[in-house]
């Protein structure tokens, strides 16, 4: 295996492959290449399981420490590229990427393809601009057993480095969908038999009083502005998480966690099957 061969000089920050990979830190270049970066052993492991790794940059240290991952990447046909510490640091956006950065193929699928699998729980991120929030909600949706997460309208790029990191590997577990028009998404979801709820701090329905035991999609809007009123109106109901104390509202990620888990629990308690 190439990475084990003694005498191979590790790539530097100036090596063309490293220079090219670094460009993937920019959205424009990601979109063009349909590739993105994932860093650290956890993300690399999940990306490998999804068959998404095209190239794996590794320091000499990491190649020893994560020999299993390097071998798996090699078996999967990924290119293994040994890099110097400073080149790895330049590829990574965090201070401790633990010596591994992977170039991954985009994993998103068309909504129709995701809906053909008859998902029971879907999260739609409409115009959510903050990558940390978006990634955290995707991670929470995965934990709650959601099958599909849609980045709709002006939502952040799911392949933004901060978003990828916030998903903690969940980006590779769910069907990720990118869709320009959230209204079309709502229509498609409803056509596929899902009940669509708009999470809305001022919604008329209380979460504790709506049924989400059946196939359900949740629309979440931006932290700053919430959902556009017309989009919330397009849903089957506007649903609020009840506020029992003095807080004016919940933050977005917390509200999403409560909504998604409420459904996950209802779906399991009612013993519905696919």
Which residues contact a second copy (rule: CB under 8 A)? 42, 136, 139-146, 166, 168-170, 173-174, 208, 241-251, 253-258, 261-262, 264-265, 268-269
Which string of b and e fits 151-167 if b means at least 16 CB within 10 Å?
bbbebbbbbbbebbbbb
Q: How far is the CB of 10 from a second copy (least distance, A)?
A: 30
- Residue 54 phi, psi dihedral angles, 5° rounding: -95, -40
Report the C-alpha gap between 142 and 121 in whole angstroms. 10
Tokens read off for 101: 């950065």
State how far the alpha carbon of 191 is from the alpha carbons of 147, 215, 240, in Å: 17, 12, 24
Which C-beta is closer to a second copy: that of 210 or that of 253?
253
Which C-beta is closer to a second copy: that of 49 or that of 84?
49
The DSSP bridge pattern shows strands 100-105 and 237-240 to be unpaired
Which C-beta is closer to a second copy: that of 26 or that of 265?
265
Q: How far is the CB of 241 from a second copy (least distance, A)?
A: 7
Q: How far is the CB of 262 from a second copy (least distance, A)?
A: 8
Q: How far is the CB of 69 from a second copy (least distance, A)?
A: 16
Which C-beta is closer to a second copy: that of 55 or that of 175?
175
Report the C-alpha gap between 145 and 53 in whole angstroms. 24
């Amino acid at each position: 295996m190439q990475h084990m061969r003694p005498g191979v000089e590790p790539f530097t920050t100036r090596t063309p492959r490293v220079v090219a990979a670094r460009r993937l830190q920019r959205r424009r270049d990601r979109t063009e290449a349909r590739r993105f970066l994932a860093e650290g052993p956890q993300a690399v492991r999940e990306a490998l399981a999804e068959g998404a790794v095209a190239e794996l940059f590794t320091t000499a240290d990491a190649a020893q420490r994560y020999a299993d991952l390097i071998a798996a990447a090699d078996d999967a046909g990924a290119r293994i590229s040994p890099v110097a510490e400073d080149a790895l640091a330049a590829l990574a956006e965090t201070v401790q990427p633990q010596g591994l950065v992977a170039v991954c193929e985009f994993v998103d699928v068309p909504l129709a393809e995701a809906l053909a699998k008859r998902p029971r729980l879907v999260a739609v991120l409409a115009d959510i601009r903050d990558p940390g929030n978006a990634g955290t909600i995707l991670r929470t949706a995965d934990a709650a057993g959601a099958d599909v997460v849609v980045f709709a309208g002006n939502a952040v790029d799911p392949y933004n480095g901060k978003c990828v990191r916030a998903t903690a590997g969940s980006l590779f577990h769910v069907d990720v969908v990118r869709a320009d028009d959230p209204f079309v998404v709502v229509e498609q979801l409803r056509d596929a038999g899902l009940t669509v709820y708009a999470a809305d701090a001022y919604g008329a329905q209380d979460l504790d009083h709506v049924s989400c035991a059946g196939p359900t999609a949740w629309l979440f809007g931006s932290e700053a502005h919430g959902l556009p009123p017309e989009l919330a109106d397009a849903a089957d109901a506007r649903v609020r998480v009840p506020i029992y104390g003095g807080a004016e509202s919940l933050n977005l990620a917390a509200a999403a966690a409560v909504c998604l888990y409420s459904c996950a629990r209802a779906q399991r308690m009612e013993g519905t099957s696919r």
